[in-house]
Amino acid sequence: MNIIFCTSPFQVLVAREVAKYTGEKFFGIYLKMSNDNRQKIYAEKMKEFCEDTLFIDNKEWVSELREKLANIKIDKFYLASLDNPVAHMIFNPNFMRLFTFDDGSTSIISPNMYTRYTDRVVGPEDITLENVINLSNGHYTIFDTNTVFPTEKLIKIPFDTKPDDFLKVTNGKTVKVFLGQALGNYVDEKDIKITEKLTRKALEEIGNTLYYAHPRVTVNVENAETIQSDKCFEEEIYDLLSNYENAEVYGFYSTSLLLVKDIPGVSVRCFRTFLTTNEVKILGEYGVESIDLPLSDTAVDIIMPVYNREKTVGNAIESVLNQTHKNFRLIIVDDGSRDGTEEVCRKYLNDERVIYHKVLHGGISRALNAGISLATAEYIARQDSDDEWMPWHLDFLLNELEQNDKLDIIGSKVDADRNKLQGGIKRNNFNNLSGEELWFKLAYKNMFNHSTVIYKKSAVEEAGGYDPECDGFEDWHLWARMVTKDNALVMNTLTAYYGLPEEDDKGMIFRSRLAKSRGLRLEDVLE
């Protein structure tokens, strides 16, 4: 006899396929993880492929399990939730062989909770997550690849949720469906509001949609018919296709999009938000098309001064055009470049949001002031021609600005190591810098990175703009005149790549730029 342990309706569907594939006998355990109706319903479904089952929803389960398994030898333990403490109370590596199976999006999207912090203890006798992964004798998967287990451990199994009595209609009707999902932390009040706002915007864009609410996510929507289904969508889709010839399925990054996309009559698309750029990129690799969904609709003008940067300016422009935020103009001010910079920039002028303005060479401050004079939006964002924004940059910072009308300027963090910027946005709610602390530190050190800054045009003009006599530390000089004790914020979240032109001179160029930003010569730093 084997034990198969589930904690979600989706896991039950995969467990059913595991039972079919192996042909072995199973004792099924379902651990209740929430209060939605599907928990009990799918626990009952385990009886269809298990000899006996146990539904864990109280503290009496230990004695119940002991009674049910009395005189029964357990050979294998099948687990999807690799770090579940209840599962590890039951699993005994000394007497049972471990096998694993898919736990939803963690199979294809990385980083995830099983690829991070693998040295953490997840069970008795200090067993770590890494130990669990290594103990698995094989991982049963419905996908072609896996983020957690090596290829040699993967056992590909079919995944079929079509009912035996399914009859597809041919009535020409189409239904639009949106799959609800939490974005960010589903218990954080700010993230709940973000999820609600983005969900409403998505539903408005789709129009005339059935909203399939996630059982653990409460979102108040008024522009769609809400469906509370007791089925996983992988099964629900066949009920829809019994009434509609075609189904257009939308969502953020639900695994269901992948699992229904090849069903005849079904098309799928996902929405790319500032919180889901990594997930959507991965879904794209599986053939799921995406639609950009900005959190903010605030207009912003982006000023990019450039001088002889033919090798890097293209990537800088691409990073702007790749933002999830869309309501912007990119004002490129060419400070009299003599290389191929102009030719590179002009390739992007077919996008009406891109403006190219060439001036006589006069230095970065004059170029910046020229850009400010061309700006018409309330907010101005700064971008350097050798740096690159991450797709979430504008949406993330504009959302913060919109929450605090006292702010005149906001910035974030950069890094010259691309590896630290992989895997989507990693918001850090600790060690943000603002108020008197920021105002005080700014007297001794430039606390803003120029390429991450967004400021109010009116505040910069009131401060007198950039001083051409201060090229090299023009930004720091402006902040010193502009920042007060309550109008500035530096977010401790990475949103930009700090580009260094020549690979062999990275260290020296970085020191040189850092020295200039502090009003020093490179020689002063090296002494």
The 3-class secondary structure across 98-130, one letter per residue, is EEEECCHHHHCCCCCCCCCCCCCECCHHHCEHH
In this prediction, residue 407 carries a pLDDT of 98
Residue percentage of the chain with pLDDT more than 70: 95
The upper half-sphere exposure of residue 508, i.e. CA atoms within 13 Å in the direction of its Cβ, equals 5
Cis peptide before 9 (omega within 30 of 0): no
pTM comes to 0.90
User: What's the mean pLDDT when you consider all of the chain?
Assistant: 93
Confidence of residue 217 (pLDDT cuts 50, 70, 90): confident
User: How many of the other CB atoms lie within 10 Å of CB of 239?
Assistant: 13
Residues 75/2, Cβ–Cβ less than 8 Å: yes
The upper half-sphere exposure of residue 443, i.e. CA atoms within 13 Å in the direction of its Cβ, equals 6
Mean pLDDT of 127-148: 97
| Structure letter (DSSP) for residue 315 | H
Q: Whose structure tokens read 């045009």?
A: 457
SS3 403: helix
Phi-psi region of 324 (alpha: psi -120 to 50; beta: other; left: phi over 0): alpha
CA atoms of 190 and 184, how far apart (whole Å): 9
With a cut of 50, say whether residue 291 has pLDDT above it: yes
Task: Give the domains, in start order, of the chain with CATH numbers.
Answer: 2-156 (3.30.370.20), 174-292 (3.40.50), 300-526 (3.90.550.10)
Q: 505: Cβ–Cβ under 8 A, 6 or more apart, which residues?
A: none
Residues 141/99, Cβ–Cβ less than 8 Å: no
Residues 50/3, Cβ–Cβ less than 8 Å: no
With a cut of 90, say whether residue 134 has pLDDT above it: yes
Residue percentage of the chain with pLDDT more than 90: 86
Cross-strand partners of 29: 5, 54
Q: Which of 381, 268, 370 is nearest to 323 (CA)?
A: 381
CA atoms of 156 and 402, how far apart (whole Å): 48
Residues 186/173, Cβ–Cβ less than 8 Å: no
